[in-house]
Structure 1
Amino acid sequence: MSQSGLSQKQIDQFEESFSKNDKYQLAQNVCNGHPLAEMLASRPLQQSVQHCFNNTIEKEGQPITDQQRSGRCWIFACLNIMRVPFMKKYKLEKFEFSQNYLFFWDKVERANYLLHAFVECARKGETYNGRLISHMLRNPSEDGGQWDMLVNLVEKYGVVPKECFPNTWSADNSHRLGQIMNNRLREGCSVLHGMVAAGKTEAEIETAINGMNEEIYRIMCIVLGKPPRTVMFQYMNAADKGKEGETTGAKKTHSIGPISPRDFYHQLVKPDCMDMEDLVCIVNDPRPNNPYNKLYTVEYLGNMTGGKPTLYINQPIEVLKQLTIKSIKEAQTPVWFGCDVGKHYNHKLGFLDLKALDFQLMFDVDTLKLGKAERLMYGESLMTHAMVFTAVNTSDSGAADKWRVENSWGDKDGDKGYLVMSDDWFSEFVYEVVVSRKLIQDPSILAVLDQEPVRLPAWDPMGALAH
């Protein structure tokens, strides 16, 4: 019987090559006793990168937010851009919208969406061991999301100040909640598939789904709190400033309400702070089978039955950059974006840079041989996280060289929670930005929204959710 696997001759060659190289020996000694990310960190980059930008929005949100041990970044990033004009309007020094409020309604609505999706799949003959259902059941109640899911939630349920619906332990530490939710949805999928196979009526199936939804709502109320029907927001705004910056009056206290969360958004936020329906998602998917200037969607990527579908306008990366610069410089508006945050990221220093981690020096390997399209095609990269652009540094020609990023991981890393992203990193690992329609002067881009969207399969990497 021949020997399986690597031959002894091959292993001897590998060992000899490793043992002869003093650099490998030193690298082994260093990496055996220290965190790998710290050993890969580039010292030259640390000495050259500074948190200084020549184009910034007038006011950044305060305080820096922290999603803790949860996958709510997409919600945090949305509310972080929403609070900036709201703080300016009401002269607030610090303010947060309730992330827990949107998290609650996403869990409830997404459960209902998935239960109906399971029924639809069963009627199409999809089985539990097929690729589609297997994908949908992998983590049906994950925390992450996409931009159009936020539009669905905010337009229907509104928003509330964080003081009116604060975080709970399970909002900040969502792993166990996710396990419970996955259990209920997987069981629901089994029951509904059985009902379809048994020829149960539409009314019988809807009754069963209603019971499952009530169970989900009950669990959410227990762990996240029961969301308020009305809120009373009390705040103290900043003292007025004179022409020379001197204080001309004392701080004043104000009250808003009682008001419903939906009216809070539609009356106080949407008209002159931020209109969710005005914002569109522009993506960069350079795969050869997905041409630019086309509209895309992903099967079963949603969180609300009958709600807005998740739509992407595919454009070259330079279009994403130009629109982001325009939003920051001209509109003084921060920009929600999605990226693959785990790639070439010095967490402690807050650097998103292709030179942030020196794999070549440590391992003699080049981790950037694949292009952006190939990384998507071969599972090496996809969108994993949502954050906010608040500033950009540009040359005299208008080209960017670095970007300032507001994260939602607390204030310990980078510049008190703010990161620096190189423009090269933007090109390789930013996948989508959300900007106002008013900033898009090229009518052909918005015209893409009139197209019938190309439907990508549920497991396509463009269906990845930001955590």
Structure 2
Amino acid sequence: MRKLATLVVLFATLSLQAQDPYEFTTVIDLEATPIISQGRTGTCWSFSASSFIESEIIRKTGKTIDLSEMYTVRQTYMDKAENYVMRQGLANFSEGGLAHDVLNSIKANGLVPNEAYSGLDEGNNYHNHAEMVAVLESMVKTYADNPGKKLSKKWRPAVSAVLDVYLGEAPETFTYEGKTYTPQSFLEMTKINPDDYVSITSFNHADFYSSFILNIPDNFSNGSFYNLPLDDFIKTLDNSLANGYSVEFDCDVSEPTFSAKHGLAIIPEDDQNNK
């Protein structure tokens, strides 16, 4: 009976400890826009990198602008389709991506505020790309297989038309705060230069202090990263934040130590000691 009582007390203690919330101390607090739900989509890369760009706009101009994540998504899907079809299906075509895909889109297609292009049907406030992605995947696989033995010139307009149906036509001009812009002139107004930004990472399989193409499926655009030892990687992040520059962070959320529900990503102490 005493052993049973001891076990009950032990389980109760562990349960209380498990429920204790993590406590965080604010060290640096840079201006950022509110968190926005990506809904039922795999477009976290666009939402996170767009938030980073919004913080950069605040830093550069003092303006708080809600950018359109879906404008970038729409443009990037065309790039993904081009890559997949031209490589005859021997490439990745998925919802995933990385921060540099947003910068690539900004450089090629400019920027648009969310009020000019939400990517939502009128009256809807929740993104759901399940059906659209299934349709697009079926289309690009068909074009990559090339059943007619000669790739139709209609494939690009067809993919674009599907994106128009689900997300809306990309605007050529729009009005923002009483002024008419194109995506490129709006980009100029924000003072954002995509060439000002660099992607860094830390992997042991590549040479340090040099650039390499990160070989993961979501890097469909073959983006290059500057590889740093982990300590230098952290020092670079800390230095950026200390000097008022925000950062964008791409990470793998499939690890068991990441919890979307609790908003936590941790490295267990035992794992840390073994690395």
TM-score, normalised with respect to structure 1: 0.50
Q: 1:291 to 1:223 in 2, by over 3 A?
A: same
| Structure with greater proportional strand content | 1
- For 1:292-303, what aligned pairs fall within 5 Å after superposition? 292-297=208-213, 301-303=219-221
Return the alpha-carbon distance in structure 1 between the equivalents of residues 272 and 231 of structure 2. 21
The DSSP-based 3-state class of the residue aligned with 1:295 is: strand
After TM superposition, the structure 1 stretch with the greater mean CA deviation from structure 2, 221-230 or 276-285, is 276-285
Percent of residue pairs identical: 17
- For 1:208-287, what aligned pairs fall within 5 Å after superposition? 208=152, 210-234=153-177, 255=178, 257-265=179-187, 267-269=188-190, 271=191, 274-287=192-205
Return the alpha-carbon distance in structure 2 between the equivalents of residues 328 and 369 of structure 1. 24
The DSSP-based 3-state class of the residue aligned with 2:32 is: coil
Give the total of aligned pairs.
260
Coordinate RMSD, CA, aligned: 3.2
Residue among 111, 114, 128 paired with 2:84: 114
> Which of the pair has more CA radius of gyration?
1
Say whether residues 1:175 and 2:130 are aligned partners. Answer: yes
- For 1:27-66, what aligned pairs fall within 5 Å after superposition? 44=17, 47=20, 49-57=22-30, 59-61=31-33, 63-66=34-37
The DSSP-based 3-state class of the residue aligned with 1:75 is: helix
Shift in Å, 1:355: 4.7
Q: 1:216 to 1:43 in 2, by over 3 A?
A: farther
Q: 1:45 to 1:96 in 2, by over 3 A?
A: farther
8 A Cα contact 1:81 1:334, kept in partner? yes
8 A Cα contact 2:85 2:141, kept in partner? no
The DSSP-based 3-state class of the residue aligned with 1:162 is: coil
The corresponding residue for 1:320 is: 233
The corresponding residue for 1:4 is: none
The corresponding residue for 1:149 is: 101
Q: 1:150 to 1:328 in 2, by over 3 A?
A: same
Return the alpha-carbon distance in structure 1 between the equivalents of residues 184 and 101 of structure 2. 16
Q: 1:350 to 1:233 in 2, by over 3 A?
A: same
4+ runs of 1 displaced by more than 4 Å? Answer: 88-92, 298-301, 368-372
8 A Cα contact 1:45 1:355, kept in partner? no
Q: 1:298 to 1:350 in 2, by over 3 A?
A: closer
1:19-57: per-residue Cα shift (whole Å, max 9, x none)?
xxx9xxx9xxx9xxxxxxxxxx98547647323222222
The corresponding residue for 2:42 is: 71
8 A Cα contact 1:165 1:228, kept in partner? yes
Return the alpha-carbon distance in structure 2 between the equivalents of residues 104 and 227 of structure 1. 8
Return the alpha-carbon distance in structure 1 between the equivalents of residues 128 and 242 of structure 2. 37
Shift in Å, 1:157: 0.6
The DSSP-based 3-state class of the residue aligned with 1:226 is: coil
Shift in Å, 1:117: 2.0
Shift in Å, 1:317: 1.1
Return the alpha-carbon distance in structure 2 between the equivalents of residues 353 and 49 of structure 1. 11
The corresponding residue for 2:114 is: 162
Residue identity opposite 2:176 in structure 1: F
Q: Which has the higher contact order (CA 8 A, sep 6+)?
A: 1
Residue identity opposite 2:173 in structure 1: T
Q: 1:221 to 1:292 in 2, by over 3 A?
A: same
Residue identity opposite 1:293 in structure 2: Y
- For 1:411-430, what aligned pairs fall within 5 Å after superposition? none
Q: 1:95 to 1:310 in 2, by over 3 A?
A: same
